[in-house]
A = this chain, B = another copy of it.
Amino acid sequence: MIMQSNKISIIMGSDSDLLVMKAAAEILKEFGVSYTMTVVSAHRTPERMFDFAKNAKTNGTKVIIAGAGGAAHLPGMVASITTLPVIGVPIKSSNSIDGWDSILSILQMPNGIPVATVALNAAKNAGLLALAILGTSDDEISDKLAAYKEGMKVAVLEKAKKVEGYEGNN
Using a CB–CB cutoff of 8 Å, the interface residues on chain A facing chain B are 3, 6, 12-15, 18, 22, 25-26, 29, 34-46, 48, 50, 57, 62-63, 69-71, 73, 76-77, 79-81, 83-85, 87, 92, 95-101, 103-122, 124-126, 128-129, 132-137, 142, 145-146, 148-149, 152-153, 155-157, 159-160, 162-164, 166, 168-170
Contact between chains at B156 and A48 (CB < 8 Å):
yes
Prevailing SS type, chain A contact patch: mixed
Q: Could you show 28 A-B contacts with beta carbons less than 8 Å apart?
A: A6-B170, A13-B110, A14-B159, A15-B159, A15-B160, A15-B163, A38-B164, A39-B156, A39-B163, A42-B76, A44-B110, A46-B81, A70-B110, A73-B77, A84-B132, A84-B135, A95-B121, A97-B103, A97-B104, A103-B107, A107-B119, A108-B119, A109-B119, A112-B128, A113-B125, A114-B118, A114-B122, A134-B136
Given contacts A25-B169, A46-B50, A112-B44, contact A107 B159 (CB under 8 A): no
Tell me the bound Cα distance from A57 to B139 in angstroms.
11
Tell me the bound Cα distance from A155 to B109 in angstroms.
18
Given contacts A37-B169, A156-B39, A170-B6, contact A96 B81 (CB under 8 A): no
Q: Considering only CB atoms, which chain B residue lies closest to A138 in the complex?
A: B137
Q: Considering only CB atoms, which chain B residue lies closest to A128 in the complex?
A: B114
